[in-house]
Amino acid sequence: MSSLKTLVFFATPPHDCSYLDDRDATTMFVDPRATVDKKLYSQLTALGFRRSGSHYYRPHCEHCSACIPVRLNVNHFRPDRGQRRVVRQNEDLTFNLVRAELTEAYYELYARYIEQRHHDGDMYPPSREQFSSFLVEGATESYFLEMRKNKTLIGLAVIDALDDGLSAIYTVFDPDEEHRSLGTMAVLWQIDEARRCQLPYLYLGYWIRECRKMSYKTRFRPIEALLNGHWQTLPNDG
């Protein structure tokens, strides 16, 4: 079994940044031959790593530190007026946590989301192989949160269980239901689930101040950021 002391890391050559124009990015990966169990995955996450399928990575850019790992202490979180409104808007939905797997219904929702919301991104065009390698493979404890309206699947959030919390991996939803703010709703549900499981943290991945698509993360307060190797609360203007 691998440990932090025995892990080997690799860095990619510089490549175009997916989030900031005119910048190069370098990514550090855990050796894919390593055996990463839940304990090691939890330790890596606390150090700022993320999971994408079977790969564990973090930004390692020489001249840029814009990607900041963020997490919520769920016991300190209190929803604001807008977040309470999102909960009310979705009171007609049912939520069900299931094991992560590839089904035709899940893939069809994912494909619609990528085709209509991210047709200019790295994940276009979608494929079943991409869905499985990105969202199903790799984790020791990974789940899908189904969001259904009258039994129809309209949202799907991918969640990993860690020793000290949950990790919000990805969320897709029916583009016709955009008015429901299902991305925000999924985070709010995961906050409640972490509390129910008596886990202190919900990890939200990376936040980039200049990236508009990530601005929603700092609406959850108080939010903690990994800065200079230490988790610390971001100021309200952060």
Rounded CA separation 35/52 (Å): 15
Rounded CA separation 27/60 (Å): 5
Measuring CA to CA, which residue among 195, 189, 84, 198 is closest to residue 145? 189
pLDDT of the residue at 212 = 85
pLDDT of the residue at 121 = 63
pLDDT of the residue at 237 = 64
pLDDT of the residue at 163 = 98
pLDDT of the residue at 140 = 79
The residues of the chain scoring below 50 in pLDDT are none
Find the radius of gyration of the CA atoms of the chain: 17
Distances (CA, A) of 66 to 127, 208, 237: 30, 5, 16
pLDDT of the residue at 236 = 77
pLDDT of the residue at 120 = 65
Ordered by start, the domain boundaries in the chain are 9-67, 71-233
Write out the CATH class of domain 71-233. alpha beta
pLDDT of the residue at 2 = 86
Whether this model's pTM surpasses 0.85 = yes
pLDDT of the residue at 238 = 59
